[in-house]
Amino acid sequence: MRYVKDLACIKCGLQYSPDSSCYLCSCGGLLEVRYDYDLLRLEWDRDSLAENSDFSMWRYLPLLPVGPFSKRSPLHIGWTPVYKSSALAKAIGLQRPVWVKDEGLNPTGSLKDRASAVAVVKAVEAAATTVACSSSGNAASSLAGNIAAMGGSMQAVTFVPARAPQGKIAQILIYGAKVISVQGSYREAFELSVATIERWGWYNGNAAINPYLIEGKKTAVLELAEQLNWQMPDWLVLPVGDGCTIAGAGKALRELKELGFIDKIPRLLGVQAAGCAPIYLAFSTGNELMPAEENTLADSIAAGVPRNPLKAIKEIQSSNGFMVAVEDEEILEALRLMGRTCGIFAEPSSAAGLAGLARAVRQGLLAADSEVALISTGNGLKDVASALKAASHPLRVLPDIHRLSAVVEEK
């Protein structure tokens, strides 16, 4: 916490102490963690970072709102691989290779581990015994896994909508968390979690409200920048649900530029599923955000009433970026494409980012010679049912070489 200056409301600008227990401003606006960048420039630079042997998200501790000696989850989170794919670029009409960062290789299989790791630290600092969140699955399984790794000192309670994939439910239960399956939408699960947290005084693990959790999410982009040797691409592409992840990405880029680590900020391309695209519609029309149906197989980004639209839109606009919305069929095609060109098995919400990139290239929104980085946010094993919709059927044969030969020759 040495470099944390304050928490500031993104609506009215009111400032709060870093030690404040507030999650929301008195005006109802979301808060943002701000750092003392002048002090950071004096005490932390790229050379000192290069000497750090901790290749996890915690190598960026100066830009995280946690104490240096606070107890952390022992799970190894971060430093996920970045792949350079010419085959993917060629398939969607780009002339330069696309960089793909595979966040599905984090301990519980998604980028959400970065936010959950910070939630656990802050809960420990607050002497909390129960941490709760609402989620379509990934945030809940991530919180459950990180709390389980703490050895029984805390309990996780998760609220999930009825449509949450069974793979994610199984994962949460295996970690020993309490699962409350809300027979309704993500919006209803979120509202019930907030009411429950307030009633029993549990620590709030909802990234859409808790300003500290976005700080964890932003480490994916801090890491990507370092892995690219601080040479940033023209575009950075991310799927968008509540808006927290792309808001964190934009904040990371602004901070890196402020500290002199990078020379330019990539333009952000935010992608929503057409079946649930309230932030895309607000961004595109300039109108107030309206609730939307949650009608897409990309469950992790199906937030009918997103809680972080202002931060998301602000970061996209300040980067001179834009948003697109994609159909489920485009997402399934992107899921197949990422698999066969990169060897990455992504879940539908992750593949939505690639689907949006492909659409933007087709529509001429990106120049063909653009350099692009894409963050794949979650592992496909979390939603095998959707993967099977995208995949072709296996060849079914009897255990006979002659019959197999006939099938192979026919195909």
pLDDT digits (tens, 9 = 90+) for 24-41: 899 989 999 999 999 999
pLDDT of residue 315 exceeding 80, the answer is yes
The answer to whether 251 and 122 have CB atoms below 8 angstroms apart is no
Q: Given this model, what pLDDT does residue 411 score?
A: 72
Torsion angles phi and psi, residue 35, rounded to 5: -115, 165
CA gyration radius, the chain = 21
- Dihedral (Cα; 108, 112, 118, 122), 10-degree rounding: -100
218-255 per-position pLDDT tens digit: 999 999 999 999 999 999 999 999 999 999 999 999 99
Q: Given this model, what pLDDT does residue 15 score?
A: 94
Angle between helix axes 328-342 and 348-362 (nearest 10 degrees) is 100
Mean pLDDT estimate for the chain: 95
Of the candidates 237, 194, 264, 253, the one whose C-alpha atom is nearest the C-alpha of residue 358 is 237
Indicate the pLDDT class of residue 150, thresholds 50, 70 and 90: very high
Tell me the mean pLDDT in the region 53-72: 94
pLDDT of residue 21 exceeding 80, the answer is no
- % residues pLDDT > 90 (the chain): 86
353-384 per-position pLDDT tens digit: 999 999 999 999 999 999 999 999 999 999 99
Q: Which residue has the higher pLDDT, 232 or 308?
A: 232
Q: How far apart are CA 381 and CA 378, in angstroms?
A: 9
Q: What is the pTM of this model?
A: 0.95
Q: Given this model, what pLDDT does residue 303 score?
A: 92
Residues 6+ apart with CB under 8 A from 135: 112, 141, 143, 158, 159, 160, 164, 189
Residue labelled with tokens 């606070």: 70
Beta bridge partners, 372, equal 98, 235
176-218 per-position pLDDT tens digit: 999 999 999 888 999 999 999 999 999 999 988 899 999 999 9
Q: Given this model, what pLDDT does residue 179 score?
A: 95
pLDDT of residue 68 exceeding 90, the answer is no
Residue 24: half-sphere exposure toward Cβ, Cα within 13 Å: 12
